[in-house]
Amino acid sequence: MSGPETDAILPHPQRRVLCRVAGIDALTHDIRRILLAIERGGPFVFSAGQFASLGFGALPPRDYSMANRPGERLLEFHIRRIGAGSVSAHVASRLRRGDRVSLAGPLGTAYLRDRHAGPILAIAGGSGLAPIKSIVETALARRPARPIRLYFGAREERDLYLVEHFSALASRHADFRFVPVLSKPRGATAYRTGLVQEEAAEALAALADAKAYLAGPPAMVQAASALLGAQGLAEADIHADPFYSEAEKAVRAAATS
């Protein structure tokens, strides 16, 4: 990527592309993975960690983060069903292979900074694993020996996903560690328990010149940013992607206008 890597500028031109659902499966009881094949308007060039605005028929558009690495043929998304959610419920129960999806973007400034070659501390909550997967896989492909710590927060074991995938990556990369953390385990568990941001923040001390990438529920992302800041990580080295709902986005937009 050329040009400045700043939060003020989107690194790629905006595009509107038409896709077809090439695959859909369940990652957990409430998270679907959808794979999109671009039919018209491509290529869709983005940086790892960015998101797009997805349109499913007449439903209002929603933001979802790309989970695949840039340049791969299929676009991958992880979409968690929200109880009363209109779009996430459509994806969970009605979306089928072959359906059309429109996509606009790429958006977002919490993308992988290519010029930084140092350690990465990545923190994901729930389907926040989507952009973090893209970031971690892209970073490992570019610099396989760099130190990367991925902390994945979920409530209980049934909310974890891609554990085998990331464990296999960790077995192939000596300095990549994958740590699932459960906040509300049911019964005994072999996984770490507690708040993912607290477990992750402890790892920061051993990672000089690190950058942190955070994604998932806004409360978790805010708590993680505050903890990392309190431990001395500069704001410019914290790249955060809170998954605000449309209602939260409207409140924030009104507050800044």
Q: Which of 28, 47, 68, 88 forms a contact with ligand FAD (CB under 6 A)?
A: 88
CB 129 within 8 A of CB 161: yes
Quickly list DSSP for 86-112: HHHHHHHHT--TT-EEEEEEEE-S---
Q: Which of 78, 149, 173, 239 forms a contact with ligand FAD (CB under 6 A)?
A: 78
Q: Which of 6, 86, 167, 189 forms a contact with ligand FAD (CB under 6 A)?
A: 86
Pairing of strands 238-242, 211-216: parallel
Size of site (CB under 6 A) for ligand FAD: 24
User: Which region, judged by CB under 6 A, interacts with ligand FAD, from 39-47, 75-83, 94-102, 140-148?
Assistant: 75-83
Q: Which of 35, 79, 154, 220 forms a contact with ligand FAD (CB under 6 A)?
A: 79
- Our CB check for ligand FAD shows the closer of 2 and 25 to be 25
CB 184 within 8 A of CB 135: no
Q: Which of 85, 118, 185, 229 forms a contact with ligand FAD (CB under 6 A)?
A: 85
Report which secondary-structure segment, H or E, holds 218: helix 218-230
| Binding string, residues 155-194; x marks residues near ligand FAD by CB under 6 A | ----------------------------------------
Residues 8-67 that bind ligand FAD (CB under 6 A): 51, 62-65
Min CB(156)–ligand FAD separation in Å:
17
* Rounded Cα distance, 158 and 155, in Å: 8
| Binding string, residues 215-234; x marks residues near ligand FAD by CB under 6 A | --------------------
**Judged by CB under 6 A, does residue 241 bind ligand FAD?**
yes
**Judged by CB under 6 A, does residue 76 bind ligand FAD?**
no
Tokens representing residue 207 in the block: 């990672």
* Rounded Cα distance, 104 and 43, in Å: 12
Residue nearest ligand FAD, Cβ-based: 85
Report which secondary-structure segment, H or E, holds 248: helix 246-256
* Rounded Cα distance, 9 and 12, in Å: 9
Residues 122-141 that bind ligand FAD (CB under 6 A): 127, 130
- Our CB check for ligand FAD shows the closer of 68 and 147 to be 68
**Judged by CB under 6 A, does residue 245 bind ligand FAD?**
yes
* DSSP state, residue 20: E
* Rounded Cα distance, 144 and 23, in Å: 29
Q: Cis peptide leading into 43, omega within 30 of 0?
A: yes
* DSSP state, residue 42: -
Q: Cis peptide leading into 106, omega within 30 of 0?
A: yes
Interface ranges with ligand FAD (CB under 6 A): 51, 62-65, 78-80, 82, 84-89, 108, 127, 130, 241, 243-247
